[in-house]
Amino acid sequence: MEPTLEPKSGFRRLKIELSYDGTNYAGWAFQPDQRTLQGEIESAISKIARTKVETVVAGRTDAGVHAKQQFMHVDIPQNPMPPDITWDIPNWAYKLNRILDEDIRILKVSDAEPGFHARFSPIERRYQYKIADDLAIIPPLDRFDVEPWYRKLDIDLMNDACNYLLGEHDFKAFCKFREDQTTVRTLMKFYWTRLDNGYLVADVRANAFCYSMVRNLVGAAVCVGEGRFPKEWVLEVLNNKERVSDSYVFPGRGLTLTEIIFPD
C-alpha cells in the first residue's frame, strides 16, 4: 500500500537526495532473495531510526540502472527512542554513508516540505542513455554506463523517429504492464546527440515513466537507426498499443536517471 501524502500523527517526513551505481543491484524495488537498492537503504535507515521503515522513491529504476540524482522520502517517529538522544537530521547523510556500500551515496537529508511526496510531487523525470555503436571500444572506466552496439547508427533517422513519440500518448506498447499504473505519459523530449568521443547519448524527459519505458524507447530508436525498420514504424507501434518484443528492450547498463524536477 502506498503511504499517505502526509505522515501519520506522531511521525515526521524526511526528504533524501541520493545517487547510485545500479550495476550490482536487481533494481530499486525490494525483491525477496535479491540485492536491491530499496532493501539496502531501508536497512541502513532502520539502524539509525531504530525501527523498521518504508521508503517512497521518485523513480523506481530497473536492474542495472544508475541515478545521478534521485529523491526519496521516509517517515520516522517524531521523537526518538530512547528519549535521551536527538535525531540530528543534518548529520544523517554522513551516518548513512558510513553504513552503505560506496556505490550508494546519500547526498542530503532534511525535513520534507509540507505536502512533499517523492513519487507524486515531481513534475518531470530526466534520463540519459549512452550507446557506443559501430563496435567502438569502450574504455574500462566507461563500461558501467555505456551500452555497446555492433552496428553503425544513423542519428538523424533516430531523431526523426523519436519526434513521432513526443507529447501525451498511451505508451502501452513500450511498457511492461503493471496493474497499479496507467500507461498514459507525456514525453517532453527524446533527442539523440553524438559526443566528441563518438558515444550516442539520448536525452529523455517525461512527466513520469512506465516500467521499462525508457529502455523500450531506446530499443525502438535503435531499430530505426540501424535500418531494420523505417522511421514511421515507431508511430505504428505506438498506435497499435501492442507490446513490442523483449528483444528490442535495451539493457539497464546504459541508462542513468539524471534529474528530478519539482514545482517551484
Query: 260: left (phi > 0), else alpha (psi -120 to 50), else beta?
Result: beta
pLDDT in tens, 69-120: 999 999 999 887 766 677 889 999 999 999 999 999 999 999 999 999 999 9
CATH of 124-261, one of 3.30.70.660, 2.60.40.10, 3.40.50.2300, 1.10.3720.10: 3.30.70.660
**pLDDT confidence of residue 1:** 41
For 190, 194, 222, the CA distances from 147, given in Å and listed in that order, are: 18, 14, 12
Q: Does 62 participate in catalysis according to the annotation?
A: yes
SS3 for 123-135 is CEEEEEEEEECCC
Locate cell 496507467: which residue? 182
Q: Where are the domains of the chain?
A: 11-111, 124-261
Is the domain spanning 11-111 CATH 3.30.70.580? The answer is yes
**pLDDT confidence of residue 82:** 67
Same fold yes or no, 11-111 and 124-261: yes
**pLDDT confidence of residue 83:** 67
- Pick the catalytic residue: 21, 33, 62, 103? 62
| Coil/strand/helix, residue 11 | strand
pLDDT tens over the chain, length 264 residues: 444 578 888 899 999 999 999 999 999 999 989 999 999 999 999 999 999 999 999 999 999 999 999 999 999 998 877 666 778 899 999 999 999 999 999 999 999 999 999 999 999 999 999 999 999 999 999 999 999 999 999 999 999 999 999 999 999 999 987 777 789 999 999 999 999 999 999 999 999 999 899 999 999 999 999 999 999 999 999 999 888 887 789 999 999 999 999 998
- Alpha carbon distance, N-terminus to C-terminus of the chain: 28
Locate cell 524527459: which residue? 205
Residue 159 CA to residue 137 CA, distance in Å, equals 24
The pTM of the full predicted model, rounded to 2 decimals, is 0.93
C-alpha cell at 146: 555505456
